[in-house]
Structure 1
Amino acid sequence: MLSEPTLTSRVEDGRDTPLLVWRADGPLRAVSSAPLGGGIGARHWVLNATVSMSYDRDDPATHLAALAAGLALDGPGVGLLTGVDVAEVVARTDTGVRAWATVGLGTPVLAAAPAPPALAERVGTVNIVVYVPARLADSALVNAVATATEAKAQAITELGLPGTGTPTDAVTVLCPVGGPEAAYGGPRSTWGAPLARAVHAAVLAGGLRAVVPWSEQVSG
C-alpha cells in the first residue's frame, strides 16, 4: 500500500523549499518516467521536490538521491522534480485508484508540433503519481502510463490551453507485487478506466489553479 504524501521541506539556496514524500509499507511494482527510479521495478517510496524555476542542474538523479538520503528513505524509489509548489498537490480517487498531481502549465506544448515553440521563462511541469490496488502486468503498467498521459492531455484540452502537456512532465504508476495479475491498463480496462478518471480529475483541478497565471503571462 502507498501512503498519502507527507509534506516536508529542506533548505536549498538559503530558503525552505517544499517536497512531498510517499512511503510504501513494502515494495511495490512501479513504472516511471522520473529522472530517479525510472523504468519498471520494485520501489519503496516516491519523492516530488519543488525546485527553482531557473533549475538547470544536469544531474537531477544525483540531486534527488541526495534529497532521499537526507530523508532517510531506504531502498530504491522514484524521484520527481517540479517548478511548482508541491504543497498544491491535488488528489482524486476512483474505484480504489488514487491519483495525485502537481500541475504547472507555464510551458504548454503540443507533442507533435512541427516546430517547437520558444520556451517561456516560467517553467511548468505536470507530475502524476498513481496507485492502483491490483497487480498489473508489465504490459499493463506501460499501458497505464499511456492512459494517464491521455487523461492529462484531455484535461489540458478542457482547460483551453494550446498543448498536450509540458516538455518536462513525468508519470509514475505503482501497484502491489502480489495477487492476480491484470493484463490490461487501457482506458476501457478494469483498472485503466478508473485510473483515467482519477488522473483527469486531478489534473483538471490542479490546472484550474495554473491557468490564470499562465494567461496573465501570455497577455503580459
Structure 2
Amino acid sequence: MSATIKPIKLYSHPTGPNPWKVAMILEELKLPYETIIIEKADLKKPPYEKININGRAPAIQDSNTGLTLWESGAIIEFLIDTYDKTQELSFPKGSPEYYHTKQWLYFQVSGQGPYFGQAVWFTVFHSEKLASAQERYKNEILRVSSVLDRALEGKDWLVGGKCSYADISFVTWYEAVIPRVLAGVVDLPREYANLDAWLERIKARPAITKVLQDKAARASTGK
C-alpha cells in the first residue's frame, strides 16, 4: 500500500514526546513520511503557525488527502481511520474494542501527557524549585501508572488481546519522565510490574525501536 502513497510530512521537535508517538504510528503502518524538525524558537513564528496555529509540535500535512492537522491524538485517529485498513492497530468500527481504544487514547492525551509534562517542567525547567508542584505532579504520574498497572493485570495489552494505537500512545511520555522524574524515586519493575513489562513489550516492536533510536539521534544533535 505504501508504494502508492506520497510521503506524509510530520512536523516534529527533537525532544518533545508527542511528535514521536505519531512517528510510531506511521512506522507501524509502514507509511512513508518525512520528518521536518521545527526548532523551539520557530514554533511560535508565523511560518509554522500557518500550519499549526497553536505553535506546538506535532502537525502533519498529508498530500494524499489534502489534510493539514495538529494535536497528536487527532492525528493518530486520522492515520488509523484513513490508513489502517487491515486493522493492524485497531478494531472494527462500532465494536466495544473500537471505543475502548479511543477511551485509552483520550486518557493518554488528557491524563498522562499533561501531568507528565508538568512533572518534567517543574522538575527540570522551571526557574524556581517548587516542592509542592513537584510533589503534585509526581503523585499524578504515580496515579496514572497505577491505573495502567491495574488495567494490565493478567493481560499483555490494554484492549482486545493485541497491541493497538492505544498502547503505543503512552510510550514516549514514559521515556521522558523515567530518567528525569522517576529515577531514584520509583522502582518501576517492582512497584508497577504489569506496567513495566507492558512498556518493554511495546518497545521491543521493531517500529517502536526504530523511532526511539531516531528520537535519540535527533535529540543528540538537535536536528
Compute the TM-score of the two structures, normalised by the length of structure 1.
0.29
Bigger-Rg structure (1/2): 2
Compute the TM-score of the two structures, normalised by the length of structure 2.
0.29
